[in-house]
Amino acid sequence: MRKGEEKVDVLIVGASLAGSAAAKRLVDAGLEVVALERRTLPRDKVCSGILSPRGHRFLVENFGPLPEEILHKPVLCRGVTFHFPSMISIPMDFDGGPTPHLNRKYSDFWTITRSGVTVHDNTSFLSLEDSGKEVVVRARREGSEIRYRARFVIGADGPKSAVTRALYPDYQKSIPWFMVGQKFQKIIECPLDREYFHFWFHPGLGHYTWSHERNEQQIVGVGFPAGGNLHKAHGNVEKYLDEKHGVKLEPAEKLEGCAQNFGPSLINRYIFGKGNVLITGQA
């Protein structure tokens, strides 16, 4: 091999929960695996942190009991309460009992570490070429370009996946996109049950509207059209929660957001990969 080149069985792009799951199974099978992560680990991740029952079972079965230091408080979520414009609210408990409230900064780091994979953080994916026999990946670390030769590549780098873009350059332009943002606010008064994730089916609030408690703050999140204004969309939701549910919060101390797509499920345009490249973890 040439200088600045590394050969592996499988290269995973993205040290997410999906990347960790793939890494765990591959390492356990005896394969040589490297995972790339463009940021320094542990890294922040925009996410509610609410884990599905199936996801909870998978983590416990493959990585072991979850330590409390990778959880937010309250540490468990009992289920989801769905709210409707008629002011009907329907709580639905998770099948199998409450699930953990993940701190994605530390839960992702915990799973990728326990997977046994070799992690190259601060390393950004640039491009790939699949010859049919191997996949050559160009990446950059600390200003220097490096190459990986892999039998297979797994793209686990999120909804705006650079790996997907390398395979299908026009795909991300062909599906619906929107923004999601959430603000963290100290609680003055909040009648919403803190043991549940709250979701609103309301066309006047946004594409995707939710709220739940985290570490003695209330998260209020909203989805809105790409190019829209988070503060305006959030203000509309906060006013609604005050007027309809009696939720009173202090001004936001922190906010975060990202681009998101539900395009694959809305128009049945899923991308699973191509050739020797697999795509996973698009949420």
CATH topology of domain 178-260: D-Amino Acid Oxidase; Chain A, domain 2 (3.30.9)
Architecture of domain 5-49+103-172+269-279: 3-Layer(bba) Sandwich (3.50)
Instruction: Give yes or no for a cis peptide into 85 (omega within 30° of 0).
Output: no
Please report, for the chain, the start and end positions of each structural domain, with discontinuous segments joined by +.
Answer: 5-49+103-172+269-279, 178-260
Pair 150, 9: CB distance under 8 Å: yes
Give tens-digit pLDDT for 55-92. 999 999 999 999 999 999 999 999 999 999 999 999 99
> d(Cα 106, Cα 70) in Å, to the nearest integer?
5
Q: For residue 159, what pLDDT is reported? A: 87
Give tens-digit pLDDT for 152-174. 999 999 989 999 999 999 998 88
Cβ partners under 8 Å of residue 201, min gap 6: 82, 83, 84, 85
Question: What is the value of pTM for the model shown?
Answer: 0.94
Q: What is the dihedral of CA 222, 223, 226, 228, to 10 degrees?
A: -30
Q: How confident is the model at residue 4 (pLDDT cuts 50, 70, 90)?
A: confident
Residue 145, CA distances (Å) to 40, 124, 220 in order: 17, 9, 41
Q: For residue 234, what pLDDT is reported? A: 98
Between 270 and 85, where is the model more confident? 85
